[in-house]
Amino acid sequence: MKPERIIKHARQQLFLGLDFSTQGLKSTLIDRAGQVKAEMAVQFDAALPEFKTRGGVHRQADGLTVTAPPLMWVAALDVLLTRMRKDRWPLARIAAISGSGQQHGSVYLKHGARAALGTLNHRQALREQLADIFSFDRSPIWMDSSTTRQCRQRDAALGGAQAVAQLTGSRSYERFTGNQIAKFYEQHPDLYAATEHIALVSSFAASLLIGDYAPLEPGDGAGMNLMNIRTRDWAASALRCTAPGLAKRLGAIVPAHQVIGNLSRYFVQRYGFAPQTTVIAFSGDNPNSLAALGLARSGDIAISLGTSDTVFGALSAPRPSASEGHIFGNPINPRGYMVLICYKNGSLTREWARDEYAHSSWKAFAEELAATPPGNGGRIGFYFKEPEITPLALKPGIYRFGPSSRPAWFTRAQNIRAVVEGQFLSMRLHSGNLGLEPHTLLATGGASVNSSLLQVMADVFGREVLVSRQSNSASLGAALRALHGWHCWRARKFVPFANVAQPASSFRAAAEPDRSRHRLYTALLPRYAQLEQKVIS
Ligand code: XUL
């Protein structure tokens, strides 16, 4: 369709963001002003119980392997769109769609999958037509930590951990897609040979929408240990040490604002979308959350308290580190970068502490926290219920140290305070090491509604904490990127994100730092760093 026709109907245009998260498929519909018009979510466990997932995943008995069935994501898309149609969402007015996926997960598609995606019959559900396109019916996801050996092989082939970080933006991480692909190739060479295409969760979802293999963009592509972080193209040496014939299975990397195709006829005919609906490259949930918050200025930092906790911010020059964090492409600035520090022990570990020490009640959790002094009388704890990845790959374990830095026993309340303070001290330590100096903190994610957590965050960093009323930041970010990509496409050039795609929801001040408490945490930080060294060595 000609751009003129779209402009004529500009008043009516809407933009859709889809987020294929670990636990469910979420969506956000916005107008041209970035105002949220509607939201909808499908929880995988509840809506699709036949896939027998818990929290959207399957955990193997080894405690390390975590996968999800990719057909469940396919099925969820039809469930979501059917509900939207039933609720009379104005699908025909959607001008552009973009999306988000949990990062690092890989989808293995066998020969013939491309043809199946391109010839869908709108009278049949996606899952019936696509059940047979996978060469591997289990997608390893970000919670998987079973590839330590492949990580060490990558380090050896590329000249060590720092060399891997310099090249790809991150040291070798177990969950990163390249290491998952190397394991897949080693364990199932026959299935690898039968694989025509390997997608990320994000690009797989985009492939469903365009009816063809979708390219990646550098925000999610950087989470693979395979992309050269500076050229934003595949790093040949990193592909070579992963699996043979990988380049042709991975496809292209395009800028995040690029139109990757029109919506497939399947969705037009089955759900009533407009045939000219454009699809913008999908990205990972963390890059999309960065877009949702419009993090552009250096010092703009967000902390997302979710299943995994993440700290992220924009950066103009990459300073990759083998000790902590990741550098990804910035999805709203094709020349920029973003820093991400990810913790596997986020909400699940806080919920465990709530159940263990506060009778499964957040109210009791907050009361116990309030009953202990900030700084916990010098007590510091490390709670790795999940294998941790920051600063290093660490096995599950709990370590508690008294004021004299000797192992100690903690009361219930002291445990709760140690879980909370330890996490924010770690965030301050490692984001500081990567050069992130916050002027304010934006808190997002499910647990950002918990004001007692936000107060400790403000005190540890010594900065005001703001929260966004919008909680589905990845799907909002995807919707804003759809709007941004659509503007770039219309203008036939890159348009600065801030000019066209500001999130309309405002931020609310949630916690002010207390100066004396901040001084106390600053004094505690070197001891925290020393004890962390002790725990990881
Ligand atoms: C980021 C990471 C997680 C997932 C969660 O590196 O592993 O934040 O993206 O969906």
Distance CA 444, CA 340 (A): 14
Q: How far does the centroid of ligand 1 lie from the alpha carbon of residue 313, in Å?
A: 15
In a domain, 357, yes or no: no
Residues 429 and 528: their CA atoms lie apart, in Å, by 9
Report whether residue 22 contacts ligand 1, using a CB cutoff of 6 Å. Answer: yes
Looking at this protein, which amino acid is placed at residue 257? H
- What is the C-alpha to C-alpha distance for residues 303 and 305, in angstroms, rounded to an integer? 6
In a domain, 386, yes or no: no
Two tokens at 373?
């002094």
102 lines ligand 1 (CB under 6 A): yes
CA of 222 to the centre of ligand 1 (A): 12
The whole-number pLDDT of residue 29 equals 97
Q: Is residue 442 part of a domain?
A: no
Q: Can you give the pTM of this predicted structure?
A: 0.86
Pairing status of strand 94-101 against strand 278-280: parallel
Pocket test residue of 286, 290, 312 for ligand 1, highest count of atoms within 8 A of CB: 286
Mutate to test the pocket of ligand 1, among 23, 172, 200, 308 (most ligand atoms within 8 A of CB): 308
Residue 281: give its domain's CATH number.
3.30.420.40
Ligand 1 contact, 28 CB (< 6 A): no
Q: CB of 284 closer than 6 A to ligand 1?
A: yes
329 lines ligand 1 (CB under 6 A): no
Torsion angle, alpha carbons of 451, 57, 46, 214, to 10? 100
**Residue 506 belongs to some domain of the structure:** no
**Predicted pLDDT at 259:** 98
Q: How far is the CA of 161 from the centre of ligand 1 (A)?
A: 20
Q: Which of 101, 237, 100, 239 is nearest to 179 (CA)?
A: 239
Closest by Cα among 394, 437, 391, 424 to 165: 391
- Which protein residue has the closest C-alpha to ligand 1 atom 5? 102
In a domain, 82, yes or no: yes
**Closest residue to atom 8 of ligand 1, CA basis:** 308
Q: How far is CA 472 from the centre of its chain?
A: 12
286 lines ligand 1 (CB under 6 A): yes
The CB of 431 under 6 Å from ligand 1? The reply is no
DSSP sequence for 410-421: --HHHHHHHHHH
Specify if 491 maps to a domain. Answer: no
| Ligand 1 centroid from CA 309, angstroms | 9
Which residue, by CA, sits nearest to atom 7 of ligand 1? Answer: 142
List all residues 6 or more positions away from 482 whose beta carbon is below 8 Å from its beta carbon. Answer: 15, 16, 17, 95, 96, 97, 98, 280
pLDDT in tens, the chain (537 residues): 233 343 344 457 999 999 999 999 999 999 999 999 999 999 999 999 999 999 999 999 999 999 999 999 999 999 999 999 999 999 999 999 999 999 999 999 999 999 999 999 999 999 999 999 999 999 999 999 999 999 999 999 999 999 999 999 999 999 999 999 999 999 999 999 999 999 999 999 999 999 999 999 999 999 999 999 999 999 999 999 999 999 999 999 999 999 999 999 999 999 999 999 999 999 999 999 899 988 866 778 899 898 889 999 988 888 899 988 999 999 999 999 999 999 999 999 999 999 999 999 999 999 999 999 999 999 999 999 988 989 987 889 999 999 999 999 999 999 999 999 999 999 999 998 887 888 889 998 888 889 999 999 999 999 999 997 666 789 999 999 999 999 999 999 999 998 998 776 678 899 999 999 999 999 999 999 999 999 998
Residue of 19, 21, 23, 103 with the most ligand 1 atoms within 8 Å of its CB, for mutation: 103
Query: What is the atom index within ligand 1 of the atom nearest the CA of 103?
Result: 9
Gap between the Cα atoms of 374 and 379, Å rounded: 10
Complete DSSP assignment for 141-184: -TT----HHHHHHHHHHHTSHHHHHHHHSS---TTSHHHHHHHH
Cβ of 143 closer than 6 Å to ligand 1, yes or no, is: no
Domain total for the chain? 1
SS3 state at 439? coil
Q: Which of 12, 17, 42, 13 is nearest to 29 (CA)?
A: 17
Residue 103 CB less than 6 A away from ligand 1: yes
Residue nearest to atom 9 of ligand 1 (CA): 103
Specify if 165 maps to a domain: yes
Of 19, 25, 66, 104, best ligand 1 pocket probe by most atoms within 8 Å of the beta carbon: 104
CA of 146 to the centre of ligand 1 (A): 16
Question: Which atom number of ligand 1 is nearest to the Cα of residue 173?
Answer: 6
Cβ atoms of 396 and 384 within 8 Å: the answer is yes
Q: Is 104 in the pocket of ligand 1 (CB under 6 A)?
A: yes
Residue 211 in any domain: the answer is yes
Domain that holds residue 30: 3-286
